Amino acid sequence: MIAAAVLALAAAAAVQAQANVKGNCVSGRITFDKARAFTAPVGTTAFPPPGVDPAYYDVSVDYASQNVQFLGTGGVALALTKNPTGAATGTRVSTTRYVLHGKITARMRALKLPGTVTTFISMSDRKDEIDWEVVGKDTDSAQTNVFYKGIAEFGVHGSTETVADVGAAHEYTIDWKHDTLTWSIDGAVKRTLDRATSTSPMTPAGERWYPSTPSLIQIAVWDGGASENKGTSDWAGGVIPWGTESSVSATYEWIDIQCYDDNDKPVPKWPADASNPDKKTGAPPAETSTQSAQPTQPAGNSTISVPGTSGTASSSSGSTASSGAGSGSSGSSGSSGSSSSGSGNKPLQDSGSGSIQANAARSPVHSISSAILAVAAVLVLAA
């Protein structure tokens, strides 16, 4: 039994280890079913968490799980909660699968409070990144951005796009093809980037400033106003004016993912071979369900305001892999850097996923997969 369990975990980890190299996209809508959400254990630094089977889990709650509520009517609310001192605590949710080209749409209601940042992005292990971000001080606009290999180049690759009332539900789309990248809101194209002409002073010689590696889809809320970087704080709108509130929430109703093949044609999944597992129903393998041992939601964060929704909500029980406090990025575990988004500077997003594609063999997922396979072989021989 033990050998079988370890072999199952090894198989899941081995498949996941290749996903950041060639992708493991499956088309469909993620409605944030709590049963298909994995809560990352304390100290998790590789995302998706090693060994989590994407056939059973659509998303992982990466940190500050007490700030995540799965809504009874579908969707999820991500809360930003006030701290007595320091930055507010945010949170992040990531897909367990990597997309390499596709059309991704999130229906969300963003925060409208100065200092807050609401995000919907793609992020690869080598820090290729495509952004939709809403800065709470700007209630009638959203910002796009694109990054390449995590290079911190400021004020060059962003744009600000008009949207009527960011606190209302809107559909934000990233249409990522091999040669063009398009951002849309409610079906209306706002910006298009052509790979052939995408360059800048910091673009490496002979390359284009254009994402080209498999990426996780991430949603997050964070406190930009508390950043020690004045440019970031000013960009976000300064210190959050809490008033009588101690928590505010952005809501995400769903994420639609349409995978593309190597010719940018819509397909049910990509790659289409057996290395990319289909979604499965039912209970996930017990060996990946480590979240049952996680601590429950702290009493201090038991009430979270969720505007624009109705019905019951349940918080994600589980650990806080990171507090989410500080001037971290759209979901980074408190890491910081600088990058441009629109007119100001903000921390560079950091998925915490580990290595870049070129060094995939050194990534935490690969190392753990190898270790698990080795243990599995010993157990099988012993059996």
The pLDDT tens digits for 68-101 are 999 988 999 999 999 988 899 999 999 999 999 9
Q: Which two tokens stand for residue 10?
A: 């090894």
Average pLDDT over all residues of the chain: 79
Confidence of residue 313 (pLDDT cuts 50, 70, 90): very low
The residue whose two tokens read 């950043």 is 227
Domain boundaries defined on the chain: 23-368
Gap between the Cα atoms of 147 and 153, Å rounded: 8
Region 109-125 average pLDDT: 98
Q: Which two tokens stand for residue 215?
A: 């990426």
Are the beta carbons of 350 and 332 closer than 8 angstroms?
A: yes
199-240 per-position pLDDT tens digit = 999 999 999 999 999 999 999 999 999 999 999 999 999 999
Gap between the Cα atoms of 275 and 176, Å rounded: 22
For domain 23-368, give the fold.
Answer: Jelly Rolls (2.60.120)
Which pLDDT value is given to residue 358?
29
More confident call, 95 vs 371: 95
Q: How many CB atoms sit inside 10 A of residue 382's CB?
A: 8
Gap between the Cα atoms of 247 and 268, Å rounded: 39
**HEC profile of 310-372:** CCCEEECCCCCCCCCCCCCCCCCCCCCCCEEECCEEECCCCCCCCCCHHHHHHCHHHHHHHHH
244-280 per-position pLDDT tens digit = 999 999 999 999 999 999 999 999 999 999 999 999 9
- The dihedral built from the CA positions of residue 15, 19, 21 and 27, taken in this order, carries a sign that is positive
118-140 per-position pLDDT tens digit = 999 999 999 999 999 999 999 99
Q: Which two tokens stand for residue 349?
A: 């997003």
The pLDDT of residue 310 is above 50: no
The angle formed by the CA atoms of residues 104, 24 and 320, to the nearest 5 degrees, is 75
Q: How many CB atoms sit inside 10 A of residue 145's CB?
A: 21
CA neighbours within 13 Å on the CB side: how many for 262? Answer: 3
Q: Which two tokens stand for residue 88?
A: 């507010």
Which residues are 89's β-sheet partners? 81
Gap between the Cα atoms of 62 and 192, Å rounded: 31
Q: What is the DSSP letter of 99?
A: B
β-strand pairing of 37-39 with 59-63: parallel
23-69 per-position pLDDT tens digit = 999 999 999 999 999 999 988 999 999 889 999 999 999 999 999 99
Are the beta carbons of 145 and 338 closer than 8 angstroms?
A: no
Among 162-166, 233-237, 347-351, whose mean pLDDT is lowest?
347-351
The pLDDT of residue 282 is above 90: no
